[in-house]
Structure formats: structure tokens, C-alpha cells
């Protein structure tokens, strides 16, 4: 067992992502724990946590594509675009909406789109969080941002509820998808429930559930080696001499072309550095040896 590495947690509905971080800190006795992307308190599912010095690897996880399953409630628009907010508009028009119309509205959200974040989001507006502005009764001025929706399918239509599954880029707001689908259908809509199923190659089925008194023991036993956090990166397996050179800030010969993407450097089965490839050489960006 180790107190350094990657931990997959199945967050239940209710606690914040920071609450989960605190649970893990107490379980492993390590202050240095961070998440690679949050979930709203009402949402459940996969959180990736980095423990110990592996927190320095979080940036390589945040951009991974994510898969969710959620329920959109038609006929009600809320100020938060989810079930936790106050209803601002209502419509009975959902009773006339067909499954084919729902599929068409979902298709409008596919691909590279410009998405307006929810008013109650962590986006910065003139140095303030949008949700702080909104909570004071002001309307935050938000700009649409480019996101990519790789897949968006209708799983079930039980009016007024629409169950969807979505695979999308980092930064995509599923609450905004719910809002915009409702607008397209002329009914209004909000996100009723949300569960994150996958982040990159990591699946919630492999995650630790925070559901009983033995959770601390299971958390400690479930921490994965740091190498797994960057398994999606190009990998350079080097000898100890080259690893030592990188750890002292020197470049080493590699002789391969992996473009400009970062490379995970492995020595004797352990991650020792993240390096930048340049003209057949590896230059250290982050060093973990020792």
C-alpha cells in the first residue's frame, strides 16, 4: 500500500468534491490530496483524486474526455439549470413533444459547439465567480465557449423526463445541454440527475464507494501507482543513468518523434519525470525521482 498515486472514487449525491477530498485526506493521513475535475454536489459518479506528490499529475488528467448519464426534465427552467435551483419558467408543451423531436434537439448539441456556461458556475466574471454574482441577484455576463460533444444519445424518453448519455470534452456543462435542449424544444428544461461514468479510460465501476465504515481501509488499499495517471501519455522507458540526468535538470537523447506532447519517463517500472520532446531529446518538465 502507498500514500502516493491515483485514486478512483465513486462520489455519492450530496457531498461536494472538496468533502470527498477531506475524507481521503483523513483516510490516508496525507494533506496533499487534490481532484482532477469536480462534480456538483447533486451529481454522483467518478472523481479522480491525486494523492501525495501525484497531485502534480492532475493537469494531465483534467483534459481527458468524460462520459455521463443524466436525466433532463422538460417543462421547467431553473435559475441554476439543475434541480437545486428555483423554477423561473414552466410550460406544459412537453406533452406534445415526440421522441423524434427530442433526438433532433440532442443532435443540435453534437460536435464542436459554442456553449454558454450556467449563470451559477465557477466561471470568472470581472474577477468574481459567476455564482457569487448570481447569488446577489445580478446577471453575470458570460461568454459562450468552445466545447466538443463527441456522442449524445437518447437512452429513454418518459415524458417529461429525457435520459441521455453523453461523451464530451473537458469544460462541457451538462446543465447547459439540458437548458439548451429545453429551449430548442420550446419547453424549457433543467438537469434532474447526473452521474459521471468514465473519465478517459477510467470507469466508475472500478472506483471506491464511500458507503460504509470500512471505507478508510479500502481507500488506502485502492490507491494506484502514479504511472497509471499518465498511462495515456507517450512513454519513454529509460535506464537509471538517463533517469538521473533528467532528475538533475539535464536533457537526454531519445531519438523518437512524438510531436510536442509531454512524455512520461519510466525508470525501473516507476515514473520519474514528465519530459518535453525536442529534436530527438527529452527535456525535463517535472521531476519526481527521489
Which residue has cell 502507498? 2
Which residue has cell 538517463? 242
Nearest to 186, CA basis, from 111, 108, 93: 93
d(CA 222, CA 255): 36
Burial tier of 96 (Cβ tally within 10 Å: 0-12, 13-18, 19+): exposed
Question: Reduced to 3 states, what is the DSSP secondary structure of residue 65?
Answer: coil
d(CA 139, CA 286): 41
Cell output for 277:
520532446
d(CA 103, CA 126): 37
d(CA 262, CA 254): 13
Q: What is the DSSP letter of 286?
A: E
d(CA 70, CA 149): 14
Q: Please identify which of the residues 40, 81, 82, 180 carries the catalytic annotation.
A: 40
Cell output for 228:
497509471
Nearest to 48, CA basis, from 60, 59, 61: 61
Question: Reduced to 3 states, what is the DSSP secondary structure of residue 68?
Answer: strand
Question: Is there a catalytic annotation at residue 81?
Answer: no
Cell output for 233:
501519455
Cβ atoms 25, 244 nearer than 8 A: no
Active site residues: 40
Amino acid at each position: 500500500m502507498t500514500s502516493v498515486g491515483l485514486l478512483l472514487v465513486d462520489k455519492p449525491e450530496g457531498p461536494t468534491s472538496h468533502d470527498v477530498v477531506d475524507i481521503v485526506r483523513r483516510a490516508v493521513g496525507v494533506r496533499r490530496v487534490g481532484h482532477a475535475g469536480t462534480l456538483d454536489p447533486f451529481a454522483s459518479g467518478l472523481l479522480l483524486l491525486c494523492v501525495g506528490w501525484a497531485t502534480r499529475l492532475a493537469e494531465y488528467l483534467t483534459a481527458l474526455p468524460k462520459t455521463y448519464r443524466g436525466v433532463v426534465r422538460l417543462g421547467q427552467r431553473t435559475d441554476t439549470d439543475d434541480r437545486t435551483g428555483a423554477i423561473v419558467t414552466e410550460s406544459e408543451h412537453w406533452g406534445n413533444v415526440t421522441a423524434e423531436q427530442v433526438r433532433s434537439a440532442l443532435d443540435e448539441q453534437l460536435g464542436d459547439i459554442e456553449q454558454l456556461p450556467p449563470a451559477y458556475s465557477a466561471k470568472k466574471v470581472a474577477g468574481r465567480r459567476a455564482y457569487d454574482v448570481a447569488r446577489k441577484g445580478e446577471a453575470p455576463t458570460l461568454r459562450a465557449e468552445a466545447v466538443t460533444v463527441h456522442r449524445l444519445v437518447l437512452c429513454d424518453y418518459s415524458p417529461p423526463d429525457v435520459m441521455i448519455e453523453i461523451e464530451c470534452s473537458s469544460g462541457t456543462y451538462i446543465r447547459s445541454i439540458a437548458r439548451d435542449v429545453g429551449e430548442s424544444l420550446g419547453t424549457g428544461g433543467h438537469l434532474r440527475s447526473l452521474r459521471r461514468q468514465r473519465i478517459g479510460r477510467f470507469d466508475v465501476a472500478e472506483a471506491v464507494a464511500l458507503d460504509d465504515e470500512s471505507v478508510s481501509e479500502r481507500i488506502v488499499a485502492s490507491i494506484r501507482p502514479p504511472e497509471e495517471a499518465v498511462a495515456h501519455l507517450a512513454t519513454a522507458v529509460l535506464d537509471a543513468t538517463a533517469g538521473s540526468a533528467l532528475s538533475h535538470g539535464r536533457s537526454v537523447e531519445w531519438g523518437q518523434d512524438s510531436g510536442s506532447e509531454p512524455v512520461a519517463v519510466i525508470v525501473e517500472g516507476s515514473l520519474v519525470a514528465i519530459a518535453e520532446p525536442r529534436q530527438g531529446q527529452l527535456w525535463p518538465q517535472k521531476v519526481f525521482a527521489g
